[in-house]
Structure 1
Amino acid sequence: MRDDKTLARIAALLRQAEGTDNEHEAQTFMAAAQRMATAAAIDLAVARSHDPAARERSVPVARQITIGTAGKRGLRTYVQLFVAIARANDVTVDVAHNSTFVLAYGFDTDVDTVEALYSSLLVQMVAASDAYLKSGAYKGERAARVVRRGSGWRSRRVVEETALSPITARLNFQSAFAERVGARLSTARDEARAEATRSERDSGGSSTAIALRHKEVEVADFYSEQSSARGRWRPARAEAGYSEAARRAGDRAGRRARLGDQQRFGSSRGAIEG
C-alpha cells in the first residue's frame, strides 16, 4: 500500500533540509520529514485496521539492502546508522556476519522511508568524518582500549592509551554520529505518535494506539517466521580503541545532519565508497 503524494511531500521536505545552510532550519525540516513519515505510517496502520481487504493487500516484506563490499573497514558504523534509522521507523533488521548487507523487515513504505533517510545520512556521515580527519583536529588526542597483560591466572585486563589514529578517529566519529541521528529521528517519531494519540484521545477514540500495536505485533510475527538470525546485533566499539574527542565531534556532526536530496522518496543510492 503506497501513498505517492505523501512520499512526494516528504521528499520536498528532504530537499528543503538539504538546501538550507541554516542549522536550525535543517533540523526543523528533518524533524518535519520524520513526523510526516510517522503520520503516514499511522494513517496506513489505522486504515488497515478498519479494512480487511487492505490487510490482505498490505503485508510485511523482507528486503535486502547492500551496505558495502567485503573487507571494507568501517562497515559496522554504516550498519549502525541503518539500524538507528530503522528503529525510528518500525523496521527490524538482521545484519550479515561481515556487515556487507542487511535484511530489513517491515511494511514496504516504512522500509522505503529507512532507505531514503539512510542514503542521504550515510553520505553526510562519511563527508563529515572526512572533513574531521582533514582538519587534523584528532591529532594530539588519545585513544583508550582494554588489553590483557600477562598469561594464565596472573593475566589481567588493563586500559592502554595510545595516540589517536585516523581509523580509530573515523570509527568513533561515525559511531557517535549514528547514535545522535537515531536519537533525533526517534524523538521526532515519538512526538508525532504522541500528537496523534492525544488528538484522538481528546475525541474519545483509541484506534491509533490499537492499530500501532497490531502493526508492531504483525511485524514481530513476520520477523519470527522469516528470520534465521541467531543472536542480536550490537554496535561494536572501535576495535582499535575509544576516543571521547572523536565521539564528541561525531555527535556534533549528527546534531547538524540534514536529510537527503533524492528526487523521489524511496530511491536509494545503495552502498557508497569512502
Structure 2
Amino acid sequence: MDRPADLITAAVELLRHDDQDGFDRCVAKLAAQDGDDQGWARRVDRELTGMLTRLLGTLWRNGWQPADVVRLVERRRDRTHAEVVSELIARELRGYASVPDRWAPYLESVPPAPLREPRLLTLTRSLELLQTLTAFPRLDRLGPLPGENRPARPARRSTADGKTLSRVRALLAKAESTSFEAEAETFTAAAQRLMAKHSIDRALLDAHAGAAHDGPSGIRIGLDAPYEQAKATLLSVVADANRCRAVWHDDLGFVTVLGFETDLDAVELLFTSLLVQADTAIVRAGTKKHGSGQSRRRSFRESFLQAFTGRIGERLEAAAAETVEAEAASRGTDLVPVLAARTAEVDQAVAAMFPELTRSRVRGAYDSEGWAAGRAAADQARLAVRDQVRS
C-alpha cells in the first residue's frame, strides 16, 4: 500500500508538470476511505500538514516573510488558498519563543469558518498550496528569523516613535477623507515634514550611539493590478524622498524597500495614503472617451498616475529639504554629513543585496488630459503647514 508521503510527493510533482489526470488519481487515493484502516485520513492530514509547516520554516530561512507568502499565494492561486496559508503560518509562528515585530500580526490569524466541503476539494487545495510554496524562489533576508535572539539594545519602538506615528496617521487620515485636493496635499506634506523631523531625531541619536546603532533593514510592499508599474514608480519616489531605496520585482508583485526603520515607517504610511488619494482623484475625474466614443480609461489613468507621481515626488523632496534646513537652523547643527552617511549606508545595503540591479524607464500609454489632471491633483496645495507639525 502506498504511503501518504509518497502519494503527496507524487501529486505535487504531477501538478508541477500539469498532469491533471495523474494528479486527480493521486488525490482520489489520498481521499479514499479504507474500512480496514480507519486511521488513513488522519495519517494523510498529519503528513500533509507537517510538510506544509516544515516548508514554511524553509521559506523563512530563504528570506520570505509572512506577508510576502500570503500575498503571493493569493496572487498565484486565490483568496481561499491565502486564508489557508495564513492559518498555517499562525500555527507555525506560535511555536517560536519570539517573532520579529513586523510578523506579530500573523500570530493572530483567524482561521476561516469551517465548511462542509468534499474531502477531495480540501485535499486538492492543500496539495495546490504545497506545490505553489515549493516553487517560491530564494530571497535575501531582510531581518531576523523567528526565534533568533536579539542584540541587547534599546527597543526599536519607543513611546516617542508611537506618538509620532499616531500623529502621522491622523494627518494622513485627514488627507484621505477630504474631497479637496488642496487640503489633501496640505495634510500629506505635513505628514512628510513630521516624519522627516522624526528621522532627523533618530539619525542624530544613532550618530551619538556610534557603531552600536542598527543599520538599514527592509520591508516588502505588495502592489496589486492594475497599473502596477505606475504604482511601483510612486513607491520609488516616496522612498527616495525619505532616504530609502525601492526595488520592483515585477514577477513577484512586490517592491523591496531598504532603509532605516524610522524612514521605512514613513514610506509605508505615505505610500499607502497616496494610493488612496490618487484613486479618489482618479474616480472623481470620471470616465474618459475618445471622440469616437471608445473608452480611453486605461491611458488616462496611467498618465494621471505618472504625472501625479512626478509632482508628488518633487513636493515630498521639497518638504523634506525644508525640514532639514529648518531643523539645522534651530539646532545650530550641520545635518548634511549625518544624513549623507545614512544615505550611503542604505546605498551600500542595496548594492550588496542587488549587485546586478538595473534601472529602466517606465513606459505606458500617454493621455494629455490624464497627465494634466494628475499634475494638477498633486500641485494645488500650498505647503505652509508648519503649525500643524510643530512639536
Q: TM-score, structure 1 length as denominator?
A: 0.73
- 1:124 is aligned, of 272, 277, 287, to 277
- Is 1:251 aligned with 2:378? no
Q: Could you say if the C-alpha distance between residues 73 and 16 of structure 1 is closer, same or farther in structure 2, counting changes exceeding 3 Å?
A: closer
Q: Could you say if the C-alpha distance between residues 122 and 187 of structure 1 is closer, same or farther in structure 2, counting changes exceeding 3 Å?
A: same
8 Å CA contact retained: 1:126, 1:174 = no
CA distance in 2 between counterparts of 1:26 and 1:124 reads 8
- 1:111 is aligned, of 248, 264, 269, to 264
Partner AA of 2:223 in structure 1: I
Q: Could you say if the C-alpha distance between residues 123 and 26 of structure 1 is closer, same or farther in structure 2, counting changes exceeding 3 Å?
A: closer
CA distance in 2 between counterparts of 1:89 and 1:43 reads 14
CA radius of gyration, larger in: 2
Q: Could you say if the C-alpha distance between residues 233 and 113 of structure 1 is closer, same or farther in structure 2, counting changes exceeding 3 Å?
A: farther
8 Å CA contact retained: 1:105, 1:111 = yes
- 2:198 is aligned, of 40, 44, 53, to 40
CA distance in 2 between counterparts of 1:248 and 1:219 reads 34
CA distance in 2 between counterparts of 1:121 and 1:215 reads 25
> How far apart are 1:124 and its partner, in Å?
2.2
Partner AA of 1:221 in structure 2: Q
Secondary structure in structure 2 of the residue aligned to 1:8 = helix
8 Å CA contact retained: 1:133, 1:170 = no
- The structure richer in strand per residue is 1
Partner AA of 2:195 in structure 1: A
Match of 1:187 in 2: 318
Q: Could you say if the C-alpha distance between residues 109 and 176 of structure 1 is closer, same or farther in structure 2, counting changes exceeding 3 Å?
A: same
Deviations 1:170-217 (A, max 9, x none): 2111111111222221111111011122334xx4x33x2221121111
> How far apart are 1:22 and its partner, in Å?
5.1
> How far apart are 1:89 and its partner, in Å?
0.7
Deviations 1:234-267 (A, max 9, x none): 332x1xx42222100111222359xxxxxxxxxx
Deviations 1:124-148 (A, max 9, x none): 22232233242x3x5439xxxxxxx
Secondary structure in structure 1 of the residue aligned to 2:379 = helix
- 2:352 is aligned, of 199, 218, 225, to 225
CA distance in 1 between counterparts of 2:226 and 2:179 reads 31
- 1:67 is aligned, of 216, 223, 233, to 223
- Is 1:242 aligned with 2:369? no
Q: Which runs of 5+ in 2 are unaligned?
A: 1-155, 382-391
Deviations 1:205-236 (A, max 9, x none): 33x22211211111111111122443114332
Match of 1:165 in 2: 296
Match of 2:240 in 1: 87
CA distance in 2 between counterparts of 1:252 and 1:197 reads 32
8 Å CA contact retained: 2:206, 2:213 = no
CA distance in 2 between counterparts of 1:222 and 1:60 reads 7
- The structure richer in helix per residue is 2
Secondary structure in structure 2 of the residue aligned to 1:58 = coil
Deviations 1:57-83 (A, max 9, x none): 422112221112xxx441111111111
Q: Which runs of 5+ in 1 are unaligned?
A: 142-162, 258-274
Bigger shift: residues 124-133 or 14-23:
14-23
8 Å CA contact retained: 1:95, 1:103 = yes
8 Å CA contact retained: 2:221, 2:256 = yes
- Is 1:16 aligned with 2:174? yes
Partner AA of 2:305 in structure 1: Q
8 Å CA contact retained: 1:76, 1:99 = no
- 1:140 is aligned, of 291, 313, 325, to 291
CA distance in 2 between counterparts of 1:229 and 1:108 reads 25
- Is 1:175 aligned with 2:306? yes
* Identity within the alignment, %: 32
CA distance in 2 between counterparts of 1:16 and 1:171 reads 26
CA distance in 2 between counterparts of 1:20 and 1:229 reads 43
Match of 2:49 in 1: none
CA distance in 1 between counterparts of 2:317 and 2:212 reads 29
Q: Could you say if the C-alpha distance between residues 212 and 101 of structure 1 is closer, same or farther in structure 2, counting changes exceeding 3 Å?
A: same
Q: Could you say if the C-alpha distance between residues 124 and 18 of structure 1 is closer, same or farther in structure 2, counting changes exceeding 3 Å?
A: closer
8 Å CA contact retained: 1:94, 1:233 = no
